[in-house]
Amino acid sequence: MAHSRRDFLKYSAMASASMFVPDFLKAFGNSPRTVGNGKILVVIQLSGGNDGLNCIVPFRNDLYYKARPDLGIKQEDLIKLTDEVGLNSNLKALAQLFSDGQLAIINNVGYPNPNRSHFRSTDIWQSASDEQTILNTGWIGRYLDSTCNGTCVKPHTAIELDDTLSLALKGERMKGIAFRNPDILHISSKNNMIRGTAAGYQKETDHTAVEYLHKTLAETTQSADYIYEHSKIYRTTQIYPNHQFGKRMKTIAELICSGSETLVYYVSLPGFDTHALQKGIHSSNLKKYSDTLSAFCADLKAANRFNDTVILTFSEFGRRVAQNGSKGTDHGTANNVYIAGGKLATAGIINALPDLQNLDNGDLIHTVDFRRVYASLLDKVLNISPEKILGQKFEPMNFI
């Protein structure tokens, strides 16, 4: 063959579904969706370690202000949720969802023996592993693997709006698909090398390996065309913020409202590693998140898709309770998680606020294992046994 296997792998993720589909994949291309229960999961990762204590603020607690003489947010500058809790004023979208009974706030979410490395803690959250266990598959990827043994799902069953695919969406047999823009994905799929590789395919001695790569090419290229076609069906009238996160959430909304059979969407908003001069940086990032979430939810509501959608927002860890000498906060442990949707079983503040009097060497102590949150989503949204995916039993919560 004129092209190397390395080139084959490099370009197989960006091909067109109209090309050279082998006979053994024709059933794949025509099969209806047989997974899920009609619900959609949108996962938003606030990358860098969001300071949850300055998002959900215990303004009646003097220990909060004592630990944060510069960073503590005054009571009059908060959006009050209860007599004890205020919301950062840059999170107006969450305030509206809270008022409408469409937001669940879960406090003190984490895991035993917390790791303060961005990379390792992100891997733990994305793989749903213990701190001491390293997994090469993600919790959503294992869901893809487990659904009909990976035979009745397509790469576009799980989509990430980014340049590369996160661990969360990688399984042993099936993976999601990552891209920034459906148009660019479609243009890339017309690459001549892809056509030449597909046209020049011949059976070789290592038939199984080559056939697997050919199958991967065909599946991924079908998803590329599917995504492109569905991106043209629905055009939003909502005004989204003109930044990368806003554009990516707009794409997600348009795909959901188009009727795409995608079940999971994954997107990240970076910039939350606020070691110095936190107040302005954090406020700006929260506003990006909130303004985009407001447009996104309005979009789904207008298209009658909000009741079918559950939005999870998390960060790989929180920040330390006390501010540092640079008017920022360092890597911490437990954090709050937000669940938004039109049909929540329980809304509001789900559990107790952080105990600022009982800290672990200056850090919050987790009271909710993050895998309980995943167990709830797997059970109620993705319609699969949580234990099968997580490898052990975690009691689901009652927010869905």
What phi and psi values does residue 348 have, to the nearest 5 degrees? 95, -160
Cα gap 98→340, rounded to integer Å:
9
**In a domain? residue 395:** no
CA 343 remoteness from chain centre: 19
The per-residue pLDDT for range 49-65, each reduced to its tens digit, is: 999 999 999 999 999 99
Q: What is the domain range of residue 283?
A: 5-390
Provide the token pair at 191: 């690459």
- pLDDT-based confidence at 216, cuts 50/70/90? low
Q: What percentage of the chain carries pLDDT values higher than 90?
A: 77
Cα gap 230→255, rounded to integer Å:
6
The per-residue pLDDT for range 266-310, each reduced to its tens digit, is: 999 999 999 999 999 999 999 999 999 999 999 999 999 999 999
**In a domain? residue 400:** no
Cα gap 400→395, rounded to integer Å:
13
| Bridge partners for 44 per DSSP | 267, 313
Provide the token pair at 319: 């920040």
**In a domain? residue 138:** yes
CA 1 remoteness from chain centre: 39
Mean pLDDT of 74-95: 98
**In a domain? residue 193:** yes
Domains of the chain: total: 1
**In a domain? residue 51:** yes
Termini Cα distance of the chain: 53
For residue 192, what pLDDT is reported?
64
| Bridge partners for 267 per DSSP | 44
With a cut of 70, say whether residue 372 has pLDDT above it: yes
**In a domain? residue 274:** yes
Q: What percentage of the chain carries pLDDT values higher than 70?
A: 83
SS (H, E, C) the chain: CCCCHHHHHHHCCCCCCCCCCCHHHHHHHHCCCCCCCCCEEEEEEECCCCCHHHCEECCCCHHHHHHCCCCCCCHHHEEECCCCCEEECCCHHHHHHHHCCCEEEEEEEECCCCCCCHHHHHHHHHHCCCCCCCCCCCHHHHHHHHHHHHCCCCHHHEEEECCCCCHHHECCCCECEEECCHHHHHHHCCCHHHHHHHHCCCCCCCHHHHHHHHHHHHHHHHHHHHHHHHHCCCCCCCCCCCCHHHHHHHHHHHHHHHCCCCCEEEEEECCCCCCCCHHHHHHHHHHHHHHHHHHHHHHHHHCCCHHHEEEEEECCCCECCCCCCCCCCCECCCEEEEEEECCCCCCEECCCCCCCCCCECCECCCCEEHHHHHHHHHHHCCCCCHHHHHCCCCCCCCCC
For residue 207, what pLDDT is reported?
53
Provide the token pair at 340: 């938004």
Mean pLDDT of 239-254: 98
Please state at what angle helix 244-258 crosses helix 278-302, rounded to 10 degrees: 20
Residue 142, CA atoms < 13 Å, CB-side half-sphere: 19
With a cut of 70, say whether residue 160 has pLDDT above it: yes
For residue 187, what pLDDT is reported?
80
Say which CATH number the domain at 358 has.
Answer: 3.40.720
**In a domain? residue 284:** yes
Nearest residue to 163 (alpha-carbon basis) of 175, 177, 179, 184: 179
The per-residue pLDDT for range 1-51, each reduced to its tens digit, is: 444 444 444 443 333 233 333 333 333 344 444 455 689 999 999 999 999
**In a domain? residue 141:** yes
